[in-house]
Structure 1
Amino acid sequence: MTAIVLFALVALFIGLRLYAVLGERTGHEQQPILKPADPDARVESPPATAHREAGVVTDQGDLAYVPLAGPGIRALLAADPSFDVARFLEGASAAYRQILEAFWRGDMESVRPFVDNNVYLAFSAAVEQRNADGLKLDNRLVAIEPPLIVEAEVEKGVAELTVRFEADIAAVTRNANGEVVAGSMSDAVQSRDRWTFRRDVRSADPNWLLIETDEEE
């Protein structure tokens, strides 16, 4: 929680990453990823640029997972044959964009159904601290690399997938008068994060819940 508060106070990096309150871990073919209280809630996948590191297993185009995640992916496919890596990652990218933009706006209520309570409380605390300091974020997601599943696990019917996101973010922090106190919209900063999603594969609900975020160093 201290990291979250500091995140809201440090001008240059404010709003660039979402920090976890848990730790790290890691599709279903229907419109994937978010697990809303309203089962009809959905988001659309944002565009992605092309990049892939060595040793990556590809599954449908540039969407992929690292070899270390292979056993977990296979266990997930055995538990849920309808799971689709590409569709899961499309949904993960959509969730990443939607939740980031909501956090920057200070509107965590709009994404509350998509994150677990600990994540929601941590993000909300950062928003409250930012408001108390009279700061506002004027951030823009410039580009997202194709996401990558880096960890996968299935235990007692519950799947957890950890996805690595790399993005370029133009970040500006303004004071209560709208004056820029840090950052620049003309210079994008690279952000690298790991988000973990969970789903009970025995459930008919195809949606995933964000349970953790972490900055990757």
Structure 2
Amino acid sequence: MNYSFEYIDIILLAMIAGFIFLRLRGILGKRTGYEGKTPAQFQEVLKKIKVEQNKKPSDKFDDEAKKEFIKGAKIAYETIITDFGDNDNKIKNAKPLLNKDIFNQFDEALQERAKRGHYAEITFIGVNKAEIKEHKKIGNILNVTVNFIAEVITCVRDKEKKIVSGDPGKIKKIYDTWVFSRDITSVNPNWQLINILT
């Protein structure tokens, strides 16, 4: 009698093990990655991403767009001027703001300054005025010409720290006309400096 009970126990255990195995195989064999629901906090993020992806670049250059452009142009102007005044002889922060030709011109000027053993001291006071002179659309490219009036303290010294040009104790008013450009079909909102008018 004892042997018969042992056989029944073994059969029952085998059946339970087989059932568990089949259930696990069914689950593990069908799941191929994350199939759960997206957490609530990420659903809003995904919606925003989809909206941004569906947005088309605006080709309007209305009053609102001009205001935003001028804000960015002032920041770009200061970034470029101060980067050119740094004494590491490299354009770093301003590089994305310059097209290839302008970058090469700035880089050559810095290398020439370094060869002469000169270094610059530039303190940017601020932009007094920035206004759009004109804007032209050529195909998908929008070019905007901006007149800047700014104040800086600038001085160039030689190896012996003698002043070559400028005055470290005098604020100088500078007048610049720069041309910025952007492909209006691009999702990249950044503008680049493409020309400096004299």
Same fold (TM over 0.5): yes
Q: Provide, for residues 149-202 of structure 1, a one-character-per-residue CA deviation record: whole Å limited to 9, x for no partner.
A: 001001212100011111122111111233333322221222111111111111
Distance 1:139 1:181 in 2: 14
Q: Which residue of 2 aligns with 1:140?
A: 123
Q: Which residue of 1 aligns with 2:91?
A: 108
Distance 1:189 1:167 in 2: 8
Distance 2:194 2:144 in 1: 10
Tell me the CA shift for residue 107 of structure 1: 2.6
**Aligned pair in 2 of structure 1 residues 143, 81: CA closer, same or farther (>3 Å)?**
closer
Q: Does 1:91 align with 2:75?
A: no
Q: Which residue of 2 aligns with 1:79?
A: 59
Q: Which residue of 1 aligns with 2:152?
A: 169
Tell me the CA shift for residue 81 of structure 1: 6.3
Distance 2:66 2:149 in 1: 18
CA contact (8 A) 2:129 2:150 kept: no
Distance 1:148 1:141 in 2: 19
User: Equivalent pairs: percent with the same residue?
Assistant: 23
Task: Return the structure number with greater relative CO, CA threshold 8 A, min gap 6.
Answer: 1
Distance 1:149 1:210 in 2: 14
> Secondary structure, in 3 states, of the residue corresponding to 2:171?
strand
Unaligned runs of 5+ in 2: 1-57
Work out the number of aligned pairs and report it. 138
Q: Which residue of 2 aligns with 1:194?
A: 177
Distance 1:181 1:118 in 2: 28
Distance 1:198 1:146 in 2: 20
Q: Which amino acid aligns with 1:79?
A: D
Distance 2:188 2:93 in 1: 20
- For structure 1, which segment, 140-149 or 116-125, has the greater mean C-alpha deviation from structure 2 after superposition? 140-149
> Secondary structure, in 3 states, of the residue corresponding to 1:108?
coil
Q: Provide, for residues 127-154 of structure 1, a one-character-per-residue CA deviation record: whole Å limited to 9, x for no partner.
A: 1111111100101112311201001001
Distance 2:162 2:156 in 1: 8
Distance 2:165 2:143 in 1: 37
CA contact (8 A) 2:122 2:154 kept: yes
> Secondary structure, in 3 states, of the residue corresponding to 1:138?
strand
Unaligned runs of 5+ in 1: 1-77
Distance 2:102 2:164 in 1: 28
**Aligned pair in 2 of structure 1 residues 193, 119: CA closer, same or farther (>3 Å)?**
same
Q: Which amino acid aligns with 1:211?
A: I
Q: Which structure 1 residue ranges, 4+ long, deviate > 2 Å from structure 2?
A: 78-83, 177-183
Q: Which amino acid aligns with 1:139?
A: I
The structure where helix makes up a greater share of residues is 2
Q: CA RMSD in A?
A: 1.8
